[in-house]
Amino acid sequence: MKRYIILRVGKAVLTIWAVYTLVFFLTRVTGDPIEWLTLAGASDSAKEILRTNLGLDMPLWQQYIKSFVGLFTGDTGMSYYYARSVSDLFAERMIPTISLGSIVLGLTIVIGIPLGVLAAVKHNTLLDRITMSSAVVGSTLPNFILGILLIFIFSLKLRILPSGGIGTPQHILMPVIALSVGPIANVARLTRSSLLDVIGQEHLDCARAKGMREWKVVLKHGLRNALIPVITILGAQLSAMIGGSVVVETVFAWPGIGTLIVSSAQQRDFPVVVFGVLVISASVTFVNLLVDLSYGLLDPRIRDH
C-alpha cells in the first residue's frame, strides 16, 4: 500500500508540472500582451519600459524559471491587466467557485446515489424506466446548453430568476442546476448498474434467506461493494465540474475563477491564465489522487498489493 501511495503521489506531481509547463509556453505564442496593454500610437520607448517592468524583456527560459520558482516562494506574479498580485485575485474569486462546486458535489451525492439505489431496487418497474430515461437525457445535455435554456425560460420568459451575477440565493439556483444535472444523472446510472451486478451474489442471498428485508440487504451488504465504481465516476464528475465551472460561470456571469481565467485569456494576461490553469489542473489531479487512494481502502486486493 505504501508503494502504491508513493507512485500515485509522484504521478500527480509530475502531471501538475507538465500541465504548468505546457500552458506557460503555449500562452507565449498567442501574441504580445504589450500591444493589448498600451494605447494605440504609444511610442516604442513606452512599450519597452512597460515590457521591462513586466519582466517580458528577459529570455523565455528565464521567465519560466522565475515563474516556477515563485510558486514555491509565494510570488505568483502580478497581473498585467489588473496590476495586482495574481494570488490576491484568485483569493477573491475562489469563494464563489468553491461555494458553487460544494453545493453541486453535495447534490450529486445526496440525489445521484439514492436515485441509483432506488432504480436498482425497483428494477424493470415504471419508476426504474422513468428514472433512467431522465438520467440518459441529463447525462447527454451539455451544461452550457442547459444554462442557456434555463436563462431563456426562467429569466427571459418567466422573469422569475436573475440571468447572472451574485448576491442572493436566487442567483445561484440556475448555475447549480446547470452544473449538477449531468453529474447526478451519471452517478445515478452507474450506481444502478453497479448495484444490479452485486444484488445477485450469494452472500446477499444468504442474508435474504435469514429474513432480512430487501432494502436492508441492499444497503448493508450490497452498497459497499457497489461503491468502488461509483467513487470512480464521482471523481471523474468532480473533475468535470471543475472544468465545466469555467463555462457555466461565464454563461451566468458568476464571479468565480472561471470568469477570471476567460477574461484574462482574452486580455493576454499570462500570469493569471497560467496560474488559473495550474489551480484547475492541481484540483483535478488532487481529486483523481483521492479516488486512487480510496481504492486501497475499499478494495483489499489493491491495499495488499
Q: Region 121-138: what's the mean pLDDT?
A: 89
User: Does 207 or 102 have the greater pLDDT score?
Assistant: 102
Residue 152 has pLDDT above 90, yes or no: yes
Three cell numbers, residue 94:
475562489
Integer Cα distance of 37 and 218 in angstroms? 62
Same domain flag for 95 and 63: no
Q: What angle do CA 141, 144, 148 make, to 5 degrees?
A: 100
The DSSP output letter for 92 is: H
Integer Cα distance of 174 and 147 in angstroms? 7
User: Does 258 or 51 have the greater pLDDT score?
Assistant: 258
Question: What pLDDT does residue 3 have?
Answer: 76
Calculate what percentage of the chain has a pLDDT beyond 90. Answer: 24
Same domain flag for 234 and 113: yes
Same domain flag for 158 and 99: yes
Question: What pLDDT does residue 299 have?
Answer: 59
Residue 156 has pLDDT above 80, yes or no: yes
Same domain flag for 248 and 274: no
Residue 300 has pLDDT above 60, yes or no: no
Nearest to 242 by CA among 206, 286, 275: 286
Integer Cα distance of 12 and 18 in angstroms? 10
Q: Region 152-167: what's the mean pLDDT?
A: 90
DSSP secondary structure letters along 163-183: SS--SSHHHHHHHHHHHHHHH
Question: What pLDDT does residue 175 have?
Answer: 93
The DSSP output letter for 80 is: T
Q: Region 225-243: what's the mean pLDDT?
A: 77
Question: What pLDDT does residue 40 have?
Answer: 61
Question: What pLDDT does residue 103 have?
Answer: 92
Residue 50 has pLDDT above 90, yes or no: no
**Contact predicate 151/251, CB 8 Å:** yes
**Mean of pLDDT over the chain:** 83
**Contact predicate 148/251, CB 8 Å:** yes
Integer Cα distance of 233 and 236 in angstroms? 5
Question: What pLDDT does residue 33 have?
Answer: 76
Same domain flag for 261 and 278: no
pLDDT, tens digit, 9 for 90 and up, residues 171-225: 999 999 999 999 999 999 988 888 887 776 666 666 666 666 666 667 666 677 7
**Dihedral (C-alpha) 192, 196, 201, 207: value to the nearest 10 degrees?**
70
Measured CA to CA in angstroms, residue 147 lies from 53, 125, 246, 254 at distances of 41, 32, 12, 12
Question: What pLDDT does residue 287 have?
Answer: 82
Same domain flag for 241 and 147: yes
Same domain flag for 179 and 44: no
Query: Which pairs with CB-CB distance under 8 Å and at least 24 residues apart come from 30-39?
Result: 30/268, 31/268, 32/268, 33/80, 33/267, 33/268, 33/269, 33/270, 36/267, 36/268, 37/80, 37/81
Buried b / exposed e across 127-145, counting CB within 10 Å, b at 16+?
ebeebbeebeebbeeebee
Find the domain containing 159 and state its range: 89-266
Q: How many domains does the chain have?
A: 2
Calculate what percentage of the chain has a pLDDT beyond 70. Answer: 86
Same domain flag for 129 and 275: no
Q: Region 159-173: what's the mean pLDDT?
A: 89
Integer Cα distance of 87 and 275 in angstroms? 8
Strand partners, 78: 85
Residue 116 has pLDDT above 60, yes or no: yes
Question: What pLDDT does residue 291 have?
Answer: 75
Q: Region 154-173: what's the mean pLDDT?
A: 89
Q: Cell 441509483 belongs to which residue?
A: 116
pLDDT, tens digit, 9 for 90 and up, residues 249-283: 999 989 999 899 998 888 888 889 999 999 888 88
Same domain flag for 165 and 192: yes
User: Does 78 or 232 have the greater pLDDT score?
Assistant: 78
CATH value at residue 110: 1.10.3720.10
User: Does 79 or 305 have the greater pLDDT score?
Assistant: 79
Alpha-helical runs (H) found in the chain: 2-27, 33-37, 44-53, 60-73, 86-107, 113-121, 126-140, 143-150, 169-199, 202-209, 214-217, 223-251, 257-266, 270-298, 300-303
Same domain flag for 244 and 302: no
pTM of the model: 0.78
pLDDT, tens digit, 9 for 90 and up, residues 22-46: 999 988 877 777 776 776 666 777 7
Phi-psi region of 58 (alpha: psi -120 to 50; beta: other; left: phi over 0): beta
Same domain flag for 200 and 124: yes
Residue 303 has pLDDT above 60, yes or no: no
Measured CA to CA in angstroms, residue 259 lies from 35, 267, 272 at distances of 22, 12, 11
